[in-house]
Amino acid sequence: MNLVLFRMLKRTLQRPTPTTRVGVLLIAVLLYGTTGFLYFEIPNSPDLSWSDGFWWALVTATTVGYGDISPSTFGGQFIVATPLMLLGIGIIGYVLSLAATALIEAKNKEIRGMVGHKLRNHLVLVNFPNEDKVRRVLAELQSDASFGRETDMVLIDDKLEELPPALADRGLRYVRGDPMFDETLTRACLDTATHAIVLVQRPGDPTSDNQNVAITLAIEARAPKVFTVVECVNLDNEELLKKAGSDVIVCAARFDAHFVSHELLNPGVQDVIEELTTNLHGVQIYLTVYKGKDTSFGAIADVCRARQHIAIGVRRGKSTQLNPTREFKLKTDDKIITLGPTRLGSL
């Protein structure tokens, strides 16, 4: 132990850090001011103490100068006080430059994803396809009352040089690294997250699905309780992502044929669907879990209408029934599909 301490002390003395240098310099200046002040002033003021000398040296070196204690002799004024004031200004400038440099370096490391975070109950967003898509995802999430702007979010990507300012302004944090490595997931605090979204890193490239399968396996092996939503390009890879443990898979290829045909048969359907699925404006589709006793769909529809919502269907397990009859019997844990301006609290 003594050998280790000796080596640390030797290394510090041979290559002192800027903080060590300024600390030693400050101590030396204060000792000079304290002893010099007492040496010249005690003959005229015998009641001065070491605490008085140190207080005077401190307020003089920091250029505060309260004036409650001041030197009256030539030596105290010009041999001690004058150098102390000049050195004090220099030390303060040096300390401020060190502090500014440290803050800038810390901010640069954070923007470049080189630091870890201490987060809880947050969202982990994996992969950075482009700034516009990530910004739209954040906008949709933050506009919903169940998520909100107060929820922390962290992005993981292994290719992004630094986080765009527009995303940083939205409160997004950044961790640069391979999302399949435990070290990266640790810095993103995956273990204490509640949700994870895995985006396609190269939209339109089916090989991106292979990467998302591996990322999903890494997430599920590390934190199986995290609710994961994974995006895929090829519809055929949905089954593989389910086996990897993803809770929900989103595949845009599932809807492209629908949109094309419906726009031909019913022009404007695409705009209607966008209106119903965006949280940024208008009326949205909401799925609210029903926790009451067995009752009819008509009774719940009347409750929803009183709360400015229109009940249009029921989601039970993996099946969906739209426009059921009013006599349709509801069960606990059914999800009521409604259209409304804001999310319903509970049913």
Confidence class for position 26, pLDDT limits 50, 70, 90: confident
Q: Which fold has domain 283-347?
A: Alpha-Beta Plaits (3.30.70)
What pLDDT shows up at residue 247?
A: 94
pLDDT tens-digit map of 152-197: 999 999 999 999 999 999 999 999 999 999 999 999 999 999 999 9
Cα angle: 99, vertex 109, 135; to 5 degrees? 125
What is the four-CA torsion angle of 226, 231, 232, 237, rounded to 10 degrees?
30
Is pLDDT at 238 greater than 60 in this prediction? yes
Is pLDDT at 11 greater than 70 in this prediction? no
The dotted CATH code for 123-251 is 3.40.50.720
Confidence class for position 254, pLDDT limits 50, 70, 90: confident
Nearest to 226 by CA among 252, 187, 198: 198
User: With respect to CATH, is domain 2-111 assigned 1.10.287.70?
Assistant: yes
pTM above 0.85, yes or no: no
Q: 315 or 10, which is more confident? A: 315
Please list, residue by residue across 94-127, b when 16 or more beta carbons sit within 10 angstroms of its beta carbon and e when fewer do: ebeeeeeeeeeeeeeebbebbbeeebeebbbbbb
Is pLDDT at 24 greater than 70 in this prediction? yes
CA atoms 43, 46, 48, 54: torsion sign: positive
Q: What residues does each domain of the chain span? A: 2-111, 123-251, 283-347
Residue 313, SS3 per DSSP: strand
DSSP 131: H
What pLDDT shows up at residue 310?
A: 94
What is the DSSP secondary-structure string of 74-89? HIIIIIIIHHHHHHHH
In the predicted model, what is the mean pLDDT of residues 278-302? Answer: 89
Gap between the Cα atoms of 306 and 101, Å rounded:
59
Gap between the Cα atoms of 226 and 238, Å rounded:
19
pLDDT tens-digit map of 332-342: 999 999 999 88
Q: Which helix (H) or strand (E) holds 286?
A: strand 284-289
pLDDT tens-digit map of 208-226: 999 999 999 999 999 999 9
Report helix angle 269-277 to 253-265, nearest 10: 130
Which residues, in sequence order, are CB contacts of 1 under 8 Å at separation 6+?
none
pLDDT tens-digit map of 93-143: 888 888 888 888 888 888 888 888 999 999 999 999 999 999 999 999 988
Q: What are the C-alpha distances in Å from 5 to residues 12, 13, 124, 137?
A: 11, 12, 42, 52
